Structure 1
Amino acid sequence: MSASKAKRAEVAERRKNAIQMVLAGLDYETIAERLGYASRGAAHTDVDRALHANLSDVKKEAGTLRDIQARRYHRLLAAVWPKALKGDLKAVETAARLTDRVVKLYGLAEPDKLDLDVTGQITAEDLMEIIRNAPADDADA
Structure 2
Amino acid sequence: MARAVYLPRRGGTDMTGGKRSSRARATHAQVAERRAKAVRMKVSGARLEDIANALGYGSANHVSVDIRRALAANVREQSAATEEYIAIEQLRLDELLYAVWEEAMAGSPRHVELGVRIVEARRRLFPQQQVVALTTVESEILRLENELATRQLAVGGEIEESG
| TM-score class normalised by the smaller sequence | 0.3 to 0.5
- Tell me which structure has the larger Cα radius of gyration: 2
Which structure would you say has the larger RCO, counting Cα contacts within 8 Å and 6 or more residues apart? 1
